[in-house]
Amino acid sequence: METLTQNFKQARQAGFTLIELIIVIVIIGILAAIAIPKFTGVTATAEHASLQALAANLSSAATADFAIQKSTGGTAKTACNDLKTLITPPLDEAVYSLTGTAPDCTLTRLSNSDAATFVMVTD
């Protein structure tokens, strides 16, 4: 009977010690200290990648416009600023600036002055 009472007390008191909990908290703190700095630059990297993708989209649209106009005898767009109407939806002038002289164009995000350059086909 005494052995049964001792086993019952031990089973009720089973759990983590204070040392084990502190070690777990320290490990979580170390992991957080390593992970948080890696995620702080993710937004800027994603914004730059989206700007580069938009510049590539504009370059493709300019190439397609050039091919269509050459095959139909029309006049292809030669000014960088004219390319903003080739994509759908059109480039938002409150967010982006499209500058440069053909064939080198620069797409700039006005909020952070991040820029991406691309080449348009002119002939």
1 within a domain of the structure (yes/no)? no
31 within a domain of the structure (yes/no)? no
Domain count across the chain: 1
pLDDT at 20: 92
pLDDT at 107: 92
Q: Which domain holds residue 93?
A: 46-119
> In 10 A of CB 102, how many CB atoms?
18
Q: Decide if pLDDT at 88 tops 90.
A: no
**Distance in angstroms (rounded) separating the CA atoms of residues 51 and 88:** 15
110 within a domain of the structure (yes/no)? yes
Model-level pTM? 0.67
pLDDT at 49: 93
Tens-digit pLDDT profile for residues 17-65: 899 999 999 999 999 898 888 887 788 888 899 999 999 998 898 888 8
Q: Decide if pLDDT at 113 tops 80.
A: yes
51 within a domain of the structure (yes/no)? yes
